[in-house]
Amino acid sequence: MAKKQNNELIDTFQEFKETKNIDRATLVSVLEESFRNVIAKMKGTDENYDVIVNPDKGDFEIYCNRTVVPDGEVNDPNMEISLSDARQIADDYEVGEDVSEPVDFSKFGRRAILTLRQTLASRILELEHDALYNKYKDMVGDVISAEVYQVWHKEVLLLDEEGNELLLPKNEQIPGDFFRKGEPARAVVARVDNSTGNPKIILSRTSPVFLQRLLEAEVPEIAEGIITIRKIARVPGERAKIAVESFDDRVDPVGACVGVRGSRVHGIVRELKGENLDVIQWTSNPQLLIARALGPAEINSINLDQESKHCEVYLNPDQVSLAIGKGGLNIRLASMLTDTVIDVYRELPEGEDEELEDDIHLDDFKDEIDEWVIEELKKNGWTTARSVLEAPREMLIKNADLEEETVDEVLRILKAEFPDEEEDGNQPPTES
């Protein structure tokens, strides 16, 4: 019975080793430590015990070492043995010698065995957590592929090849991401939270690092160090701007990253759920970098205050909408990429100044047009009445994200300020 209990314990230890990937030396150390903790609790000390664990054979041995004392002088049975009892083990023992006896651990009682199991389970769990933390703390910033195990409203649970749990929170998912159980998913290791001692591996698909790693995998020149990614600005799932620099004058960094007809970014765009990628060439000239970041708009001039990181950009009226982009996305990404607050201003071409004198700023219409509508128009570069009237009606609806009725009312109010001018094509549809 004792042997059976011992073997059952060793079977449990071997299961831990196989499922939790704990190396042999660590397993032996943990087993010995666990046995000694239980012995110390039961006997008061473990100093006179030898614990020998052999997980390969599936057994263990415990020996109790005691000193031989004259009969009748045993003060501590755990540390001492009488001469007569020692000679029952071997008849040549003398006073002062040490006697080593095998101990049947099962005779310590059921409580001791349960304590051992609990101690072992606790220590193995600690080792598992330590191994998981040490593995993934060195993988922060690396892209991994894991299997989707469970999809919840606020997060997705994935399992790596060893069955470790990884979390992909909702705010780290790209809009448009859709996961099915059993399918592989790629993400970057964003961080490892070990504040509670139970590591949580947090993944991300929205981090700029994820896009950077995908580019490194697709563009050999980046992996070889010929091209470096200087900075990335992303609005996940919509658009990203990437500034790249080449250390070889013969290599065009933008062309190398994009590839022939976009061949090198097609796969990345699919992975990012259709996110548009703008690759621009990095420059240490801040004004030039801002101009490139605002592409495809053509810039007339830039007034930059480097101390406050604020700049004023002047463009022809037909370039303002391009610079700002739908919903202000282009200018927002340009600001992120250049770490600069950017304001854009319409600048009429030479010879058209007389038109400016006959224009009216939108702020002058706050009594007739809701202020939030004016702000939406200004975000897209339409700051005057004429700039709104010159814009196609469909563009006003789409870019400013306004209802058709709202746009038509704005156009009606603005047109009333120029009653003598001929009607243009920017008219609301009429019912037939």
Helices 208-218, 263-271: inter-axial angle, 10-degree rounding:
140
Q: How confident is the model at residue 2 (pLDDT cuts 50, 70, 90)?
A: very low
CB distance 30 to 127 below 8 Å: yes
For residue 318, the model assigns a pLDDT of: 79
Query: In Å, what is the CA distance from 123 to each residue of 119, 216, 422?
Result: 6, 40, 85
Residue 430 has pLDDT above 50, yes or no: no
Which tokens in the block code for residue 253?
């960094």
Per-residue confidence band for 114, with pLDDT thresholds at 50, 70 and 90: confident
Reported as a pLDDT band with limits 50, 70 and 90, residue 161 is very high
User: Please, what is the end-to-end C-alpha distance for the chain in angstroms?
Assistant: 98
Q: For 148, phi and psi rounded to 5 degrees? A: -70, 125
Question: Does the structure show a pLDDT above 70 at 222?
Answer: yes
- Answer yes or no: are the C-beta atoms of 240 and 248 closer than 8 Å: no
What dotted CATH number matches 140-205?
2.40.50.140
Q: Interior CA angle at 288 toward 287 and 292, to 5°?
A: 120
pLDDT of 21 reads 59
Q: Mean pLDDT highest for which of 119-128, 231-240, 353-362, 399-408?
A: 231-240
Q: Give the pLDDT score at 1.
A: 44
How far apart are alpha carbons 108 and 103 in whole angstroms? 9
Across 77-94, average pLDDT: 88
**Confidence tier at 316 by pLDDT (50, 70, 90):** confident
**Is 6 a residue whose pLDDT tops 80?**
no
β-strands 80-82, 59-69: how paired? Answer: parallel
pLDDT class of 300 with cuts at 50, 70, 90:
very high
Q: What is the pLDDT of residue 425?
A: 47
Say what the pTM is. 0.68
> Which are the contacts of 416, defined by CB distance < 8 A and separation ≥ 6?
none
What is the sign of the dihedral through the CA atoms of 253, 256, 257 and 262?
Answer: positive
Local confidence band at 379 (pLDDT 50, 70, 90 cut-offs)? confident
Q: Is the pLDDT of residue 20 over 50?
A: yes
Domain residue extents for the chain: 2-134, 140-205, 207-282, 353-415
Q: What is the pLDDT of residue 432?
A: 38
Q: What angle do CA 20, 16, 12 make, to 5 degrees?
A: 170
Q: Mean pLDDT over residues 227-244, rounded? A: 96
Percent of residues, the chain, with pLDDT higher than 90: 43
What does the pLDDT read at residue 431? 46
What are the distances in angstroms from CA 375 to CA 261, 348, 370, 383, 408?
38, 22, 9, 9, 17
pLDDT digits (tens, 9 = 90+) for 267-291: 999 999 999 999 999 999 999 999 9
CATH for 207-282, options being 3.30.300.20, 2.40.50.100, 3.90.1300.10, 3.90.79.10: 3.30.300.20
Quick one: the chain helix, strand, coil %, rounded to 5? 45, 25, 35
To the nearest whole percent, how much of the chain has pLDDT over 70?
Answer: 88
- Indicate whether 28 pLDDT > 50: yes
What confidence tens digit (pLDDT) does each residue in 164-210 have?
999 999 999 999 999 999 999 999 999 999 888 889 999 999 999 99
Q: Residue 293: pLDDT above 90?
A: yes
Rounded average pLDDT over 42-46: 84
The CATH number of 2-134 is 3.30.1480
Residue-wise pLDDT tens digits, 323-363? 988 878 999 999 999 999 998 888 766 655 544 556 788 88
Greater pLDDT, 17 or 269: 269
Cα(245)–Cα(251) distance, integer angstroms = 10
Please provide the CATH number assigned to the domain covering 353-415.
1.10.150.20
Residues 3-30 have a mean pLDDT of 61
- Show the tokens assigned to 69: 């004392």
What's the mean pLDDT when you consider all of the chain?
85
How far apart, in whole angstroms, are the C-alpha atoms of residue 194 and residue 62? 37
Residue 248: band (very low, low, confident or very high) from pLDDT cuts 50, 70, 90:
very high
